[in-house]
Amino acid sequence: MSDDSGVSVNNLCVAFHRLREYSIEACLATIIDGDDILKVSTEHLRDLSFQVGSVYQFIGELLIQPDNEVVLQARVGRNVDGIDLNLYHQSLLLLRRFQANHLNNPETI
Amino acid sequence: MENGKNNALALQNTHVKLLAFDLLSLTQFPFHSPDAATSFFRRGIPISRVEILGTVTLHHLKPERLLRFAIDDGTGCVPCVLWLNDANSPSVVRRRRHELAARFVEVVKFGAVARVRGRLSRYKGGVQVTVSDVVTERDPNAEIFHRLDCIRLARNCYNLLPSPSLRG
């Protein structure tokens, strides 16, 4: 779907990444995970302070701009310093396998 | 066999740890009767109480009536309701329950990570959790541990229980 500015709106997205830089004026955080970079609009977030190097969790909508740049419009955000990112990634792999098995064996009745 | 039957029924009296996508795919029975008490089944096993954990992504308070909120664990969004309408009940137990519920309202903040226990119920044709207990989680790894717990319990316990309808 598109709004008047031509911005594409995709599904909700969850991001768990380390903050690389933050612009107060633009309300824009840049987070990294390995070689992956994601821009996060934080204009809807209150009471959250940003520190470069800290790890944050954001939930929001993924917006694809007309120039194909992807920005996460965050609705919820929190600092998760202390999170075990290796365990997080391993749990994601397990979760995807579990969900795939669940869908392939829908004995739910 | 008798032991299996007992195990299957035991899930009715325990808080079953479920991921949102799993909870939202439970089967309801009866399917289209708004008045009748609804039962919920997972792979043929009846379930009445659940435990979920995730971020509070919706918060709608109607003072002295109820608090509606949603728990998002990354696999889905579970609607929850916390009733707040027993302040003037003649029942001491209900008034006590209301005092607890009023405290839970302070805990459920938009964006917080909460562990919720409650009973499964139906709202507008879908499943919801009628909350009996809420705590906030401060451990940044709590969501991961809950996710791993749910997967382990499903594989090693819930999925292994024989469905009562499949037994002779």
- Across the interface, whether the CB atoms of A108 and B43 are under 8 A apart is answered yes
DSSP state of B122: E
* The predicted structure's pLDDT at residue A46: 83
Domain-wise residue ranges, chain B: 2-166
Of B42, B55, B148, the CB nearest to A76: B55
CATH class of B2-166: mainly beta
Amino acid type, A74:
A
pTM as predicted: 0.84
Measure CB to CB from residue A98 to each of B55, B113, B151 and give the nearest one.
Answer: B151
Strands B15-17 and A8-23: unpaired
Q: What does each of the 168 residues of chain B score in pLDDT, given as a tens digit?
A: 455 556 667 787 899 999 999 999 998 876 555 545 568 999 888 899 999 999 999 999 999 899 999 999 999 999 999 999 887 888 888 888 888 888 999 999 999 999 999 999 999 889 999 999 999 999 999 999 999 999 999 999 998 887 665 544
What CATH architecture is A8-82?
Answer: Beta Barrel (2.40)
pLDDT score recorded for residue B87: 78
CA–CA dist B114, B108 (Å, integer)? 7
pLDDT confidence tier of residue A13, bands split at 50, 70 and 90: low
Give the pLDDT score at A9: 35
What does DSSP say about strands B113-123 and B49-62: parallel, antiparallel, or unpaired? antiparallel
**Pairwise CB contact (< 8 Å): A87 & B25:** no
Alpha-carbon distance of B54 to B142, in angstroms, equals 9
Q: Which of A59, A75, A83 comes nearest B140 by C-beta? A: A83
Q: In degrees, to the nearest 5, what angle opens at C-alpha B14 toward C-alphas B9 and B15?
A: 135
Using only C-alpha atoms, what is the Rg of chain B? Answer: 17
For B89, the enclosing helix (H) or strand (E) is none
Q: Measured between CB atoms, does A1 come within 8 Å of chain B?
A: no
Angle, helices B142-156 vs A85-104, to 10°: value is 30
Q: Where are the domains of chain A?
A: 8-82
